[in-house]
């Protein structure tokens, strides 16, 4: 069932953390929303129940977005329910702290697959649908892509790859009115960053921000909403830093 006067947004990895905040804001603005999860089924269903109190146009779809077959299924189920895909937020990703010399091949492959390969597959697969009517792709990067480690080498590299991929896909999307941008958050206060915020490294990062405070999930979700909205139609190929003024280059 397709709802009237409402665009459809898919947020990958949206059962918790930043993805949860993003999907909630879009649901509050009356978008059709697709909650995607890989492992946290209980959290995803709990979020769906909460959203349904204000917006009935929500579905939950399990998919490992580093697996092309499952991505195809995610998009097909979305199209079957809502008839279109207007906005894709590539948020799914993982982090694993470790020094350069300690990173194993398996660690490297796992991080690059979850954080970069997944974005490539999702962008490529959604492209064929968005070419028909335009759309918005927003990739969630990280300030770590500018910071370059030292305890998140593979994560930093994966997010730098997301930045580059964003610019490349923006070039391909321009002729079809597909706008492609990335948001690079600094340290945002979520359950997933609790340990980092309360570590010595968290204090160092805080000292490097101009605003001398950590970000909130709403700082990122509101940026997503703006980039996806009709309030702007001339921003593409950009990496928007949401990091309290910290440039860790």
Residue 185 has φ and ψ, to the nearest 5°, of: -70, 150
Query: Which pair of tokens denotes residue 196?
Result: 């980092």
The SS3 of residue 158 is helix
Residue listed under structure tokens 């299924």: 73
- Whether 37 is a known active-site residue: answer no
Render the burial of 160-174: b for 16+ CB within 10 Å, e for the rest. Answer: bbbbebbeebbeebe
Residue listed under structure tokens 């770590």: 144
Q: Judge whether 63 and 71 are in contact, CB under 8 Å.
A: yes
Out of 31, 37, 147, 155, pick the active-site residue. Answer: 155
Q: Judge whether 38 and 61 are in contact, CB under 8 Å.
A: no
Report, as residue numbers or ranges, the catalytic residues.
155
């Amino acid at each position: 069932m397709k709802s009237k006067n409402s665009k459809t947004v898919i947020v990958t990895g949206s059962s918790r953390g930043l993805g949860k905040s993003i999907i909630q804001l879009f649901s509050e603005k009356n978008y059709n929303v697709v909650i995607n999860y890989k492992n946290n089924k209980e959290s995803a269903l709990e979020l769906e129940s909460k959203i349904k109190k204000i917006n009935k146009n929500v579905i939950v779809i399990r998919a490992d977005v580093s697996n092309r077959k499952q991505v195809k299924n995610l998009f097909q189920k979305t199209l079957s329910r809502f008839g279109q895909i207007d906005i894709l937020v590539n948020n799914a990703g993982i982090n694993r702290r470790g020094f350069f010399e300690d990173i194993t091949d398996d660690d490297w492959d796992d991080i690059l697959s979850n954080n970069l390969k997944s974005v490539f597959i999702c962008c490529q697969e959604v492209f064929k649908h968005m070419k028909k009517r335009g759309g918005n792709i927003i990739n969630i990067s990280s300030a770590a892509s500018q910071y370059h480690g030292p305890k998140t080498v593979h994560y930093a590299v994966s997010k730098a790859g997301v930045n580059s991929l964003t610019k490349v896909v923006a070039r391909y999307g321009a002729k079809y009115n597909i706008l492609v941008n990335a948001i690079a958050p600094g340290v945002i206060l979520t359950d997933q960053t609790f340990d980092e915020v309360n570590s010595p490294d968290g204090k160092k990062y805080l000292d490097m921000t101009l605003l001398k405070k950590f970000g909130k999930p709403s700082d990122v979700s509101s940026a997503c909403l703006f980039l996806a909205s009709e309030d702007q139609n001339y921003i593409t190929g950009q990496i928007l830093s949401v990091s309290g003024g910290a440039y860790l280059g």
